Amino acid sequence: MIAVIQRVSNAEVKLEGVAIASIGLGLLILLGVEDADNNEDLKWLVKKIIPMRIFADYEGKMNLSSTDVRSEFLVVSQFTLHAKTKKGNRPSFINAAKPKQAKALYEDFIQELSIQSGHQVQHGRFGADMQVSLINDGPLTIIIDTKNRH
């Protein structure tokens, strides 16, 4: 799994011009599922994200976790994170999971994040053409790949 994590002051997902999910202070997580991913990957990823100290403390230093600041979460599926661009001008998505597998892991990720954080997790609609807007706070963007756990 690849997760692009953006610290936001707010974020919103629209479908056909209608808002279907929104958050205030929190994390927008763009999630790409690969065909080799499994439940172990999603559990590891959730345990990595929640305690990550990427929110500012009273001195402006990144010392606080999402738990400390009671952040909200918005998860959006994005298979294009697995784009391969080595050859030609058209990206290949050969490593992205097939929709049935990807949807199941996406939904399980949302559920696990909700359980581990103790908060309801907002989310986009799997497989839909969505419009995502956000104000990236910092800006702060972190990319985590469960296949590269260094």
Give the active site residues.
78-80
For 68, the 3-state DSSP assignment is helix
Q: Is 69:89 a contact under the CB 8 Å cutoff?
A: no
Residue 36, both tokens = 């080799």
Q: Is the dihedral of CA 118, 25, 128, 78 positive or negative?
A: negative
Phi, psi of 38 (to 5 degrees): -150, -175
Distances (CA, A) of 103 to 60, 89, 90, 106, 121: 38, 28, 24, 5, 16
Q: Is 2:83 a contact under the CB 8 Å cutoff?
A: no
